[in-house]
Amino acid sequence: MNPLTVVMYHYVRNLRRSRYPEIRALESDAFERQLGFFISNYAMVSMDDVVSALNGEGTLPEKAALLTFDDGYMDHYETVFPMLFDRKLQGVFFPPTAAVIGNEVLDVNKIHFILSSCTDPSILVDEIDRTIETERDKYDLPSLARYKKQFFQKSRYDPPEIIYIKRMLQLGLPMELRREIAARLFARFVTEDEAAFSRELYMNVDQLRAMTEGGQHIGSHGDEHEWLSKMSREAQERNIRMSLEMQTMIHGRADPFTFCYPYGDYNEETLEILQELGCVAAFTTEPTVATISSSKRLTLARLDTNDFPQ
């Protein structure tokens, strides 16, 4: 069994020049310094190296490291790709299909930009709470006290009110209602032109093809970045199959493919579906060093960029 340090990135941008300087992102110059740290202290490997090791066809070098990038942001094409290309490094990129092909702004990103654009999170908490009170009978919602007990909890990176907003709009409320609230808040605090915002935020298929030609690896991140374990088996399979359509558009084939669980969320049914569809490796958000063995193929751990010097 080989250890592998897998590093997880999301937004990587020049925040000082950004229209949304409050978004939680890694500064581009900090990313460049971090690349230098990894090159000096680790043996950088590719996805092919990892798959070969998982298949028992080779072993990884000591202190092997792999860089992964979630959610298909334009940051990855404009900022990350050139830095990796210049250093002859491979990144592993996981774009969701609905963002790249459907020109949708994913709910997870609507929440990010709502939070970065509204300076007072209590306004957002109040809006969610008022909606719960007015829509309680229609959706048979539990009490506010129950929601607060479940979701008003601090996390590794966020205070309780931010976690409450995120979790309520990600999975706490019924899908129809949480999407309605997110859309309303996004139009109020960010923009009413979702399609234009989407084209600015995410890469397109041509850019992803160019990245593969430049030595990068493009995997699958599902369709709409939903919590897979909250879905039925049929819905999970439909979601994953939708993401494989983009794999075909980029690679000319759907399998073998790699996968990254949205929110790091999965269950036994997810693992069964991925195995049946020919997934060769899948990544979680478990914050530890990954163990490379065939039994861990679909549950590879990843550390966050914030776990390393910048």
**Which residue carries 């759907």 as its tokens?**
254
pTM: 0.93
Cα–Cα distance measured from residue 67 to residue 98, given in angstroms and rounded to the nearest whole number: 23
Name the pLDDT band for 16 (thresholds 50, 70, 90). Answer: confident
DSSP state of 7: E
Tokens for 14? 């020049």
pLDDT given at position 1: 63
Residue 2 CB neighbour total at 10 angstroms: 17
Domains in the chain: boundaries: 2-95+203-307, 107-195
Q: At what angle do helices 160-167 and 107-117 cross, to 10 degrees?
A: 140
Distance, in Å, from the CA atom of 112 to the CA atom of 89, rounded to the nearest integer, reads 29
What are the Cα distances from residue 173, in Å, to 63, 131, 145, 302? 43, 10, 14, 28
- Looking at the domain covering 2-95+203-307, what would its CATH class be? alpha beta
Query: With 80 as the cut, is the pLDDT of residue 149 above it?
Result: yes
pLDDT, tens only, 236-256: 999 999 999 999 999 998 889
pLDDT of 73 higher than 90: yes
Q: For residue 124, is pLDDT > 90?
A: yes
What pLDDT, in 10s, does the model give residues 260-301? Answer: 999 999 999 999 999 999 999 999 999 999 999 999 999 999
